[in-house]
Structure 1
């Protein structure tokens, strides 16, 4: 796959933010440090609460980067005239591996194995991490992979697993990998048809509200309820726009430095401004002011882009798509009780998809002109091995802390706000170091 540092940086930001949001102190930080619909101090789910926080951007940004990676991964196979059955087989294999990953990694966590985990459960978690290395790192010999999967299957059988218990985030990603790739593949030469799929998804969701309709039958049907639900397909509203980003990332950039450097710098600053504006004003529900600021900043960015002497096609596409989706999402904020991650709604999909376009545009501009190179390279390194980053904390770092006696000191950091934030930063930093260690040795976990 042709690598894009900007795309890897977006994925790296998402995965590190995901780790950080799950490791900061519980209950004592300001409400904007948690999911908007699970505010402190009790973190009880409150679906009536509208708004988003930075935590609510994490998952859609990761989904968007997954969608963008699809064309980068499959274009070469299509150019090489890979048979359709092989492409489809690869999609199904990836789906199956991700579902297995979701089930195995959840049951391998020490606190899932036992309500009162001891040293044995902690060591099993570490062993599970080692098995995952053998399963997903590509090796010349297939024997270690076969042995690792056999041991993992034996562990799950011994645990008498309940297939309905799995990591739902990974199950969603598995469904998006399968259906997002399939839709992109079938519409690769007619991209407008790709957008045309989305109204049919909307139609099924709406018709599912009518009892005894065939739409509800489609919505409810599943051959494997623990692996697939039509409900998960709502995230295609983020994945499918992401596939366009992946195609645009392959457009050639101008040699040397693109003209209008100052204007592109202002546009990059505008992308950051729009992220911050929406986080602040959507969370505080100052909707009219937020809409006015978005229209003003977005229109100014589009105006600057129209005045470019030498426009960059991919960047122009990112900007136009990002502003359009953002404005569309803000108009939808007047429906379904306002923007919400859970239960997610159309305002959420469009706003976060638009912001993802703008963030990757900002990364592209910074990378091209050499700004924040260390930051982009650091984020990109983490983004190249997201599966490691996702499980290293639960299956490796936390067990080691329990076994070494460091866990009590770690828990004591929940005493106040500043230590509670530092706790998350330290945990995320160590997970990042583990991930980069794997990247530097080219130990990539691949499905």
Structure 2
């Protein structure tokens, strides 16, 4: 995301450094686990805690904490990105244009992934996997970070226009057969993880940007969102369930709650407002208290249920408290002690996140388009399946590292 000014402190002094390594490492490790658990989901015969907990039980597993960790780190990047953008272009109009554009871009990619297997080959005249590859390829061409050299301008514009045109054509020709047998267009009910991130990013910015000058504002918004989530969970407030994300992008408040907690954590550790916590000790003490409050609140709200599927406040706050503690540990290791070499395998994924997210999908769609089913019929249970998922994760991280070295990057 954005480069940030990090205070690397002794007990009484603050020295500016150019980058927050712990944010990239946290993001990279989250991507690593996300790739692993997504592939592991197809492996049978494993303990219950290796899968998402069912929605009809009050429980959560480590798998249920991966998406919230991504929301949390998305929130952490928001204050840094906004500071950097306003330094470059001090315009509120341009800032909001960027926020809306980025949200819409994530939503478009999410809808591509959500409909990747739903297309009717007889109606779109190609395999659904081919449609998905072409649509994502258009996104890659459009959102790729190209060289800024003057001699490449015409080529860059041509590639971007071609990517945009390809996406538009793929959306225009898409058709699917609905459950009642009728012909339907893009299914928008579930916009996939990227779409959920789009709504969380948009709603967090809606609340944070107008109030960003007050360092207490994210904590206040977090409290309001928690109360709202509680009211939705006990059905005292019903309209979010009926309105849908397109009319009410906050949903029941849980995703925005988690992202806002990331914003609050960010202002403790990095950026301009972190000067209010000038030493490592003050940052760690404040963050530990913040995490403790969230975990205690989660425990007290246990009667409302613990479920990722139902997006309960208890699940949200347990994930927030855990994410804060994990970030504190990474901050101490990576930014205070400057020990980052151990995380070299995850740094490319953390710095090139969107590409990392899309590479596994490209892999699955290419196999589907070629009719290769070997990976779905071998090593699909028990320990061999786990080893397969570990190897697959390492394979994807290796591809991302190579592409990043070749300067293939995506930025919305």
TM-score (normalised: structure 1)? 0.74
- 1:12 aligns with 28
CA–CA separation in structure 2 for the residues paired with 1:223 and 1:32: 30
1:112 aligns with 2:138: no
Equivalence for 2:162:
147
Counterpart of 2:140 in structure 1 is 133
- Counterpart residue number, 1:258: none
2:214 pairs with 172, 186, 190, which one? 190
Runs (5+) with no aligned partner, structure 1: 38-45, 253-309
Secondary structure of residue in 2 paired with 1:231: coil
Q: Distance in 2 between matches of 1:322 and 1:209?
A: 22
- For 1:251 and 1:229, locate their aligned partners in 2 and report how far apart those are by CA, in whole Å: 27
The alpha-carbon deviation at position 128 of structure 1 amounts to: 3.5
Q: Does 1:31 align with 2:57?
A: no
Aligned to 2:251: 231
Deviations 1:43-69 (A, max 9, x none): xxx42x222211011011000000000
8 Å CA contact 2:226–2:313 kept in 1: the answer is no
Shift of 1:366: 1.6
Q: Which residue of 1 aligns with 2:399?
A: 434
- Correspondence for 2:337: 369
Q: Measured at CA, do residues 132 and 311 of structure 1 come closer, stay the same or move farther in structure 2, by a change above 3 Å?
A: closer
Shift of 1:19: 1.5
Q: 1:348-372: per-residue Cα shift (whole Å, max 9, x none)? A: 111111111110111112223254x
- Asked whether 1:336 is paired with 2:304, we answer yes
Separation (CA, whole Å) in 1 of partners of 2:71 and 2:377: 31
State the Cα deviation string for residues 155-182 of structure 1 (Å, max 9, x = none). Answer: 1111133242553322211011111123
Give the 3 Å change call, closer, same or farther, for CA 232–441 of structure 1 in structure 2. farther
Q: C-alpha distance in 2, partners of 1:401/1:163?
A: 23
Q: 2:266 aligns with which of 236, 239, 246?
A: 246
DSSP 3-state at the match of 2:346? helix
Q: 1:251 to 1:158 in 2, by over 3 A?
A: closer
Question: Take 2:333 and 2:172, find their aligned partners in 1: how far apart are those partners?
Answer: 50
Distance 1:195 1:157, change over 3 A: same
Aligned to 1:159: 174
- Is residue 189 of structure 2 the alignment partner of residue 173 of structure 1? no
Q: Distance in 2 between matches of 1:35 and 1:125?
A: 26
Q: Does 1:73 align with 2:81?
A: yes
SS in 1 for 2:311: coil
Q: CA 1:172–1:401 in structure 2 vs 1: closer, same or farther (change >3 Å)?
A: closer
1:397 counterpart = 2:404:
no
Residues 131 and 369 of structure 1: CA distance in aligned 2, closer, same or farther (over 3 Å): same
Number of equivalent positions:
370
1:42 maps to none
SS at match of 2:216: helix
**Residues of 1 paired with 2:286 and 2:356: CA distance?**
31
Cα deviation, residue 194, structure 1: 2.9
Q: Find the counterpart in structure 1 of residue 105 from structure 2.
A: 97
TM-score by length of 2: 0.80
2:387 maps to 1:381:
no
2: CA distance between counterparts of 1:77 and 1:365? 27
For residue 56 of structure 1, what is the aligned residue in structure 2?
64
Offset at residue 206 of structure 1 (A): 6.2
Q: Distance in 2 between matches of 1:242 and 1:202?
A: 14
Q: 1:446 to 1:407 in 2, by over 3 A?
A: same
CA spacing shift, 1:437–1:130, aligned 2, 3 Å: farther
Give the aligned partner of residue 417 of structure 1: 382
Measured in 2, the distance between the counterparts of 1:402 and 1:209 equals: 39
Q: Is the counterpart of residue 312 in structure 1 residue 281 in structure 2?
A: yes
State which of 286, 302, 315 in structure 2 corresponds to 1:348: 315
Q: CA deviation at 1:114?
A: 4.8
Alpha carbons 1:11, 1:383 under 8 Å: kept: yes
Alignment root-mean-square deviation, CA: 3.0
d(CA) in 1 for partners of 2:199 and 2:205?
Answer: 10
Q: Is the 8 A contact 1:322 1:353 kept in 2?
A: yes
Alignment correspondent of 1:280: none
Quote how far apart the aligned CAs of 1:237 are: 1.6
